[in-house]
Amino acid sequence: MNLSLNIPMVARSHSDFKPTDIARHQAAADYLSATYGTQIEQACRLNTVPDYLLKATLLTENEDAKPDSVNFKGAVGLGQIKPFVGLDMLALANTKKLLTDEKKAVFRKKLGSQLDKILKVDDTSVFKDSAWQAIILPALKDPEFNTMLAALTLSLFIREHSASGLLRCDYVEARYNQGYYLLSSRKIAKTLTTDELIDAVPAEAKNYILKVCGRNGWLDILT
């Protein structure tokens, strides 16, 4: 996929991404690549996601790259994916015909026959049930599974935000942070400038965009 990228996308920077922070962030990026480079390469290749985008997302979510981390909201692993969201993204990707046999094989390593059960669900609201979430929770702590699911999720957004070959990482990252339905739930247009998008999204997503797409942000470091 040949996509152009404007970095930084906005002149502003996050308060944790000053010039004096660059060396620390570069060390974190180097550690992520050295430790999980094989899993990241596979996830990017199978989902046609630029490696810098997946790495930036993982570093924003989990700078220490701890695969078994669980935050206070229940998000798990390298990509900090909530069990409900992970189940929903698997089902959605299957509906959109994005789950190739190679991707399914990776997910099946940890889910086994439960993957087929997940992909047959029509009413995804059932994924809010703890019994469903218990199916995927252990798998989310596996680096290969988690990076594959994070890349699959990013691929859903890239398809919607790469018009004319320009990758709108700001939209992609805002939706990774806030969820697939961010734009429809808040009636946000797909044609805003980065500054306009930052003003339109919740504070958490604003900070997320700045960490990834802002000056001295992860994409500035990784590209």
Is the pLDDT higher at 42 or at 4? Answer: 42
CATH class of 19-222: mainly alpha
pLDDT band of residue 1 (cuts 50, 70, 90) is: low
State the pLDDT at residue 3: 81
> Span 22-51, mean pLDDT?
98
pLDDT band of residue 223 (cuts 50, 70, 90) is: very high
> Span 186-214, mean pLDDT?
96
Domain ranges of the chain: 19-222
What is the C-alpha to C-alpha distance for residues 149 and 88, in angstroms, rounded to an integer? 11
What the block records as the tokens of 193 is 């400038």
State the pLDDT at residue 165: 86
pTM beyond 0.85, yes or no: yes
pLDDT tens across 125-151, in order? 999 999 999 999 999 999 999 999 999
